[in-house]
């Protein structure tokens, strides 16, 4: 059974750096054409893709947030880490990680974690 679980702080202060960890099970981060994406959702709003990383260490970032994001993985620990610098109250959201399949033919996120809610407030 494939599962993903997000973990990290519930509350961060403005200007701080957020570090989120996605721990996966049921598949390996070294599986070809498979990786993990981070997506967030502010309360009552739409989904927003943040970044993805694949088994070959290929990374991509949201154009609007690229300067603030870093994604990395530790295959031996089955973990993907996302850091977001200079947090602001508008970054308050539920943050999801999702298994992502990328082949020549398809790109999709087929298994999602339950999400972790992060509030930015002083």
Partner 1 sequence: EIVLTQSPGTLSLSPGERATLSCRASQSVSSSYLAWYQQKPGQAPRLLIYGASSRATGIPDRFSGSGSGTDFTLTISRLEPEDFAVYYCQQYGSTSVTFGQGTRLEIK
| Neighbour count for residue 49 (Cβ, 10 Å) | 16
Q: How far apart are CA 1 and CA 26, in angstroms?
A: 5
Q: Is 72 in the site for partner 1 (CB under 8 A)?
A: no
Distance of CA 105 to the CA centre of its chain: 23
Q: How far apart are CA 31 and CA 40, in angstroms?
A: 24
Stretch near partner 1 under the rule CB under 8 A, chosen from 10-18, 19-27, 46-54, 74-82: 46-54
Stretch near partner 1 under the rule CB under 8 A, chosen from 8-16, 72-80, 84-92, 97-105: 97-105
Chain contacts with partner 1 (rule: CB under 8 A): 37, 39, 46-49, 52, 60, 62-63, 96, 98, 102, 104-110, 112-115
């Amino acid at each position: 059974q494939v599962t993903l679980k997000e973990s990290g702080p519930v509350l961060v202060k403005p200007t701080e750096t957020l570090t989120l960890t996605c721990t996966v099970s049921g598949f390996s981060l070294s599986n070809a054409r498979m990786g993990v994406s981070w997506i967030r959702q502010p309360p009552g709003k739409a989904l927003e893709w943040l970044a993805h990383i694949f088994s070959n260490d290929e990374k991509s970032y949201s154009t609007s947030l690229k300067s603030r994001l870093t994604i990395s993985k530790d295959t031996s620990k089955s973990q993907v880490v996302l850091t977001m610098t200079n947090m602001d109250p508008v970054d308050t959201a539920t943050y999801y990680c999702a298994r992502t399949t990328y082949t020549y033919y398809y790109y999709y996120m087929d298994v999602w974690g339950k999400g972790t809610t992060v509030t930015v407030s002083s």
